[in-house]
Amino acid sequence: MEVGLPTKSSSFLAGQDVLYGQFNDINFYVEDQDQESFYETTLKKLFPDIRIEKIFPLGSKDLVVNAAKLTTTDKKKVYIVDKDFDDILNTKEAIPNLFYLKQYSIENYLTEETAIQKLIIEEKPKLKAPDIAAAFSLTDFQKETRNLFSEIICSYLVIQKHCLGIPNVSYEPARFCNLNNPSSIKTANFNTYKESIEVKLKTKSKKLSVTTQIKQFKKYFSKKIKVLEALRHIPGKYILHFLKTRMRQLFSIPSFHNMSLESLSIRLADKCSFDSLVYLRTDIQAFIA
């Protein structure tokens, strides 16, 4: 129990498919309970001919991976996990029924231009798509996102690579960034954070420095590569927080101020085509065939 609300135990999460799996053609297993409704909306769009009444969150990536290892030949069980930094840190698992997203998280797939425009029009019905496009360029926003978050994400990669035990992606983006227009890094906050990383690195090896380690990861965010390739490594919740702030300011939408990220995600998912997730549908169809 937390704040008077019941929570689901790991044993319940692990066994819920026994209770509800009979109503699905395929059982889909994901990481977080917070993503359950979002995944349900998304997967029903990707698989309109498959009956999906219930998605099964297992509570963590490790639990999803371990469950997949136990049922590798079961064609009715499909396990989906976020990419996170697994490709960069070379920690991906090769399991037949385990499917990695190609972007950091499922939220990364929500920034479709048409979906964003539809959401704004819901809040501001008098606005038209051309008006929105004139005020907001998704391409420019994506470039700004890369520039704003790249070094911060590199510092997170350093922490995870060396197992430093310092909080990283769990932080809200506003901890180190001013998300207003123009956006900027909170230099003092970020420098203090890097100093804490430096201290921890020195306990691993006196030769390690945070500046050198961050530099090793900057190639993933270089302006020499395509913006969308760089954005694959930025947490989707960071991108959505930034987008929500920008939309609220550009179009004077006060409701965006208190809107939860979960609510924003569901509303955008309902409007997305998810063409960028066709690869996932193809891979899963090949497995269950």
According to the model, what pLDDT value does residue 255 have? 87
Q: Which two tokens stand for residue 155?
A: 């510092």
Predicted confidence band of residue 32 (pLDDT cuts 50, 70, 90): confident
Contacts of 254 (CB under 8 A, 6+ apart): 248
| Number of residues in the chain | 289
- pLDDT tens for 246-271 read 999 999 998 888 899 999 999 999 99
Q: Cα 167 to the chain's mean position, in Å?
A: 17
Element (H, E) at 24: none
Q: Which two tokens stand for residue 61?
A: 């990536």
- pLDDT tens for 69-119 read 999 999 999 999 999 999 999 999 999 999 999 999 999 999 999 999 999
- pLDDT tens for 185-244 read 999 999 999 999 999 999 999 999 999 999 999 999 999 999 999 999 999 999 999 999
**Of 77, 30, 80, nearest in space to 55 by CA:** 30
Distance CA 202, CA 271 (A): 48
**Model confidence pTM above 0.85:** yes
| Percent of the chain's residues with pLDDT above 90 | 85
According to the model, what pLDDT value does residue 4 have? 47
Q: Which two tokens stand for residue 224?
A: 């020499």
Predicted confidence band of residue 11 (pLDDT cuts 50, 70, 90): low
**Of 162, 271, 261, 174, nearest in space to 207 by CA:** 162
Q: Which two tokens stand for residue 115?
A: 């979906």
According to the model, what pLDDT value does residue 15 have? 62
Write out the chain in H/E/C secondary structure.
Answer: CECCECCCCHHHHHHHHHHHHHHCCCEEEECCHHHHHHHHHHHHHHCCCCCCCCCEECCCHHHHHHHHHHCCCCCCEEEEECCCCCCCCCCCCCCCCEEECCCCCHHHHHCCHHHHHHHHHHHCCCCCHHHHHHHCCHHHHHHHHHHHHHHHHHHHHHHHHCCCCCCCCCCCHHHCEECCCCCEECHHHHHHHHHHHHHHHHHHCCCCCHHHHHHHHHHHHCCCCCHHHHHCCCCHHHHHHHHHHHHHHHHCCCHHHHCCHHHHHHHHHCCCCCHHHHHHHHHHHHHHC
* 7, pLDDT greater than 90: no
Strand pairing partners for 241?
none
Q: Which two tokens stand for residue 139?
A: 């391409």
Predicted confidence band of residue 21 (pLDDT cuts 50, 70, 90): low
